[in-house]
Amino acid sequence: MNYKQILAELQNRHICPVYFLMGEEPYFIDKLTDYIAENILNETDKTFNQLILYGKDTDVKTVINAARRFPMMAQYQVVIVKEAQHLKDIEQLQHYINQPLASTVLVIGYKYKKIDKRTRFFKLLDEKAVVFESKKVQDYTIPSWITAYLQQKDLQIEPKAAAMLADYLGNDIGKIVNELDKLQLVLPKKSVQITALMVEQNIGLSKDYNTFELNNALIIRDIHKANRIVNYFSKNPRNNPMVLTLSSLSYFFSKVLLFHRLKEKPQDQVVKSLGIKPYFYREYKLAAQNYPMNKVMSIISMLREYDLKSKGSGSMASEGDLLKELIYRIMH
């Protein structure tokens, strides 16, 4: 089951005895855990029937003994094991999971990793429990994720603002949500749209000097604008690490390469294959016109080369100097 399915089931009071929540992205694990902790029991019943344990501070025997208790004057008891990746001999939970109590809701939060799906323990979990794997959201889908998250709150965000946040925060969903929540607090009355200017004023990012604008400068082959942005990055490396710039450029030019292969297809098919919003179609079309396929392939090779150089392989130059050199080579 995915995150939305599990949440919907819980909201409809379709409650299962065991939830095993695992994976690299902690945000969704925390959200499901918090929902169960806050909503299965009322405040009175929580006093005697809700227990939170931590993997570092407990053991399997304690978890099983707690789960086997019956609730006191309530329909359910809730036992939550946080940071369960630190729980020793976690496989021994199979003795309880094989025959769980219907009156216990056992939640196991197994963060930053997952159980080997080939093991007997996982197969038992898959049969007896609700298993959720919280996967990292892919970098290239973060702007769309931000847009969808805000839509659920009846809010909008400028594409440029979403791209700025994605470039700056990467795919750490927890950080992204924290920053979006801050931006909602400073929205003017009756306003429903987060703008690039708001991001600049409240998050500390420049609306003129970011990888989104660098890509735009490269698209139209505006050498002066590209150089201004690169010089700004060189002077502010902490807020503009080269690894994120290279990642953004790699993502962009890989899409341009795919556009070349699809340019004879209908526009809607190209948009779907690229995984972009329709309003970005013209930008990729212009980029493909300005950068023939052979040049794009050469650029992708350059990006790999400069990624190695930025990590100290074959070069002692600073990140700023490497980036200036790379942008020069891309545009000439």
| Cα 284 to Cα 18, 109, 236, 271, distances in angstroms | 47, 42, 28, 10
CA 195 and chain centroid, separation: 21
- Which residues does the chain have with pLDDT short of 70? none
| Cα 17 to Cα 67, 79, 111, 124, 186, distances in angstroms | 10, 10, 20, 14, 42
Q: In this predicted structure, what is the pLDDT of residue 226?
A: 93
Q: In this predicted structure, what is the pLDDT of residue 277?
A: 78
Beta strand 156-157 pairing with 104-111 = unpaired
255-287 burial code (b ≥16 CB/10 A, e <16): bbbbbbebeeeeeeebbeebebeeeebebbbeb
Q: In this predicted structure, what is the pLDDT of residue 302?
A: 94
Q: In this predicted structure, what is the pLDDT of residue 206?
A: 80
Q: In this predicted structure, what is the pLDDT of residue 150?
A: 95
Q: In this predicted structure, what is the pLDDT of residue 139?
A: 80
Q: In this predicted structure, what is the pLDDT of residue 316?
A: 79
User: Rounded to 10 degrees, what is the CA torsion of 206, 209, 212, 160?
Assistant: 30
> Which residue in 177, 318, 178, 322 sits closest to 249, CA to CA?
322
Please say whether the structural domain 208-331 has been given the CATH code 1.20.272.10: yes
Q: At residue 173, what is the residue type? A: I
For 312: left if phi > 0, alpha if psi spans -120 to 50, otherwise beta; the answer is left
Q: At residue 204, what is the residue type? A: G
CATH number for the region 3-133 comes to: 3.40.50.300
Residues of the chain with CATH 1.10.8.60: 137-206
Helix (H, G, I), strand (E, B) or coil at 328: helix
Q: Which residue has the tokens 């980036």?
A: 323
Q: In this predicted structure, what is the pLDDT of residue 167?
A: 80
Residues of the chain with CATH 3.40.50.300: 3-133
Q: In this predicted structure, what is the pLDDT of residue 329?
A: 94
Which neighbouring-strand residues pair with 157? 194
Q: In this predicted structure, what is the pLDDT of residue 170?
A: 82
CATH architecture of the domain with range 137-206: Orthogonal Bundle (1.10)
Burial of 199 (0-12, 13-18, 19+ CB in 10 A): buried
- Radius of gyration (Cα) for the chain, nearest Å? 25
Q: In this predicted structure, what is the pLDDT of residue 291?
A: 95
| Cα 53 to Cα 59, 92, 100, distances in angstroms | 9, 17, 18
Q: In this predicted structure, what is the pLDDT of residue 209?
A: 86
Q: In this predicted structure, what is the pLDDT of residue 188?
A: 86
